[in-house]
A and B are shown apart, each in its own frame.
Chain A
Amino acid sequence: MDKRNRSAGIALALAAVLVTTPLLPLALWSFAGEWRFPDLLPASWSLRGWEALLAPGSRFTEAVLNSLVIAAAVTAAAVVIGLPAGMALGTHDFRLKGVVIFIILLPILVPPLASTMGIHLTFIRLGLADTMFGVFLVHLVPTVPYTAIILTSVFAERTGELEEAARTLGAGPWQAFWHVTLPQVAPGVAVAGLFAFLISWSQYILTVLIGGGTVITLPMLLFSAASGTDPVITSTLAVVFALPAVVALLLALRYLNPGNERGFLGVGKVS
């Protein structure tokens, strides 16, 4: 092992420690029984946190179901809406393309919190406030830009030659899309879908504003636990809340080729 490799190894170990430091206490606390200061490890272990989540009267199951239903619906819609936009931006050049990209990028950097407070009154008038459907609608604001931008880069890397060949062989435009384009962009669509799911799953303030406390989701339970004093409940909720991200990461590492390594960038910008 030469000197360079060794220093890279030390840097890697340091990075691993920094990355895991805030995650470690979450994992430990969620199974901790008694853990007094200044003990470095819990004196006893317990499943109290997990039992509390599933106890009668706990809103955990309701919150997880709501979070899942909203995130699944948002994922489907954001992919269906973002796919044609990505196709147009990735395969065509046109006037105003720069303006369109700017508009699509805006909700990624301008906080959707500002627009959601503005639209709240209209949602109340339309009967959309305090409903799952209203929450679903505002979750589209931070997700559609990501699916559109990811799919733009997916389509930009393609030449369209295969579609041309299919068309020459007599396929209609829909047939070419279903049988040639879609299977080819499927991995990109999966990444865009994972993104949309994680962004929706992570939303807190948009859900609070539009759901008005009627639509309870997992981050709302986590927030109220974190404002309290029981680290066991807080950590258990945080572990469950982090689970989809960890699963998505493992899936991405397993199924996406190294060229797609950057496909996950940016989730942190919105959650």
Chain B
Amino acid sequence: MIGERTRIALLLAPALAVILVLFGGGLYAALLQSLGYFPAIGMTEPGLDAYRAVLTSPDFLNSLALTVYVAGASTAISTVLAVLLALALRRAPGRISTALFQLPVTVPHLVAAVGVALVVTQTGLGARIAAALGLIGEPADFPALLYDRYSAGIILTYVWKETPFIALIVLAALRGVASELEEVAQTLGANAWQRFWYVIFPAIYPAVVAASLVVFAFTFGAFEIPFLLGQDYPTMLPVTAYREYRSIDLSARPAAMAINVILALLTALFAAAYLRLSRELRRG
């Protein structure tokens, strides 16, 4: 008979091996290359040059600012919309609203991006409806929402994908404790606003924050949508890292890897915050 601890270790070994070797090993290799340790092109003197260059370059700072803006705006809009939708839908038939919300959650991001692009492009569905209503005469009258400086196309795609994700989590929280407490508050004479602010909001708040954190971390580090719908300059961090990586100039690689390491550190921080929060959630 093998001991309990050995058993647990053996059960965990395959999953941990995959993550430590393929993911951890990859991040470690990225760290080495960011430090300029890159024997393949004759760089064997480790140093912090790439970080110094990246952190002082306006290109990186613009990219970081854009990333914070897009992730922040997408998360804020999705969160507010999700809470409003969940509040409005909590008495609708559960199965229908769940099925409806799961569609955007399940459809690949790339499909969402192409669909949103076909709605908001200047000859798209939105422009056609605007024309039918007499609001615009020709496509050029419709605002440019793709590849634009406000990243409208990216944010809209994320809002479409992530709002239902947060709404499903909020709906689950609303159908739990919140609905019972609300009835109690109602019998005690609390008005609608009081019920929301003192009963419902505190009950759903931890779930809302946890879900928003996941969305923020994801939109911060995701590649596909900003690569497809983003402007040429500045680009979001993952796109910037990829472009540096793909640069013909091999000496740009340490910079690409430095951006990757910074991206990994920041998102790991979000992951730690999320884990802490969800542990507190479970403790109640």
Q: Would A113 and B242 count as touching, CB distance under 8 A?
A: yes
Chain B residues with Cβ under 8 A from A121's Cβ? 29, 33, 40
| Pick from A19, A21, A110: contact of B125, CB under 8 Å | A21
| Pick from A9, A26, A40: contact of B111, CB under 8 Å | A26
Per-residue CB contact flags for chain A residues 227-246 toward chain B (1 = under 8 Å, else 0) read 10001001100100110011
Q: Is B70 in the interface zone, CB < 8 Å from A?
A: no
Q: Of residues B5, B29, B272, which shows the largest number of chain A Cβ atoms within 10 Å of its Cβ?
A: B29
Q: Would A141 and B19 count as touching, CB distance under 8 A?
A: yes
Chain B residues with Cβ under 8 A from A112's Cβ? 23, 26
Q: Is A169 in the interface zone, CB < 8 Å from B?
A: no
Q: Would B26 and A119 count as touching, CB distance under 8 A?
A: yes
Chain A residues with Cβ under 8 A from B270's Cβ? 109
Q: Would A238 and B102 count as touching, CB distance under 8 A?
A: no
Q: Would B11 and A15 count as touching, CB distance under 8 A?
A: no
Q: How far is the CA of A84 from the CA of B160 in the complex (A)?
A: 35
Q: Would B89 and A22 count as touching, CB distance under 8 A?
A: no
The residues of B with any CB-CB pair to A shorter than 8 Å are: 4-5, 7-8, 10-12, 14-16, 18-20, 22-31, 33, 40, 85, 88-92, 94-119, 123-125, 127-129, 131-132, 138-139, 160-162, 164-165, 168-169, 172, 214, 217-218, 221-224, 227-228, 238, 241-242, 245, 256-257, 260-261, 263-264, 267-268, 270-272, 274-275, 279
| Pick from A148, A222, A265: contact of B105, CB under 8 Å | A265
Q: How far is the CA of A104 from the CA of B11 in the complex (A)?
A: 14
Contact flag A201-B108 (CB < 8 Å), given A19-B100, A141-B19: yes
Chain A residues with Cβ under 8 A from B106's Cβ? 198, 245-246, 248-249, 264, 267-268
Total A residues in contact with B, Cβ cutoff 8 Å: 96
Main secondary structure of the interface of A (DSSP, over half): helix
| Pick from B19, B124, B168, B272: contact of A107, CB under 8 Å | B19
Q: Would A84 and B114 count as touching, CB distance under 8 A?
A: no
Q: Would B92 and A267 count as touching, CB distance under 8 A?
A: no
Q: How far is the CA of A81 from the CA of B22 in the complex (A)?
A: 14
Q: How far is the CA of A112 from the CA of B217 in the complex (A)?
A: 13
Q: How far is the CA of A113 from the CA of B257 in the complex (A)?
A: 11
Contact flag A117-B23 (CB < 8 Å), given A141-B18, A249-B102: no
Cβ distance A206 to chain B, nearest Cβ, rounded Å: 9
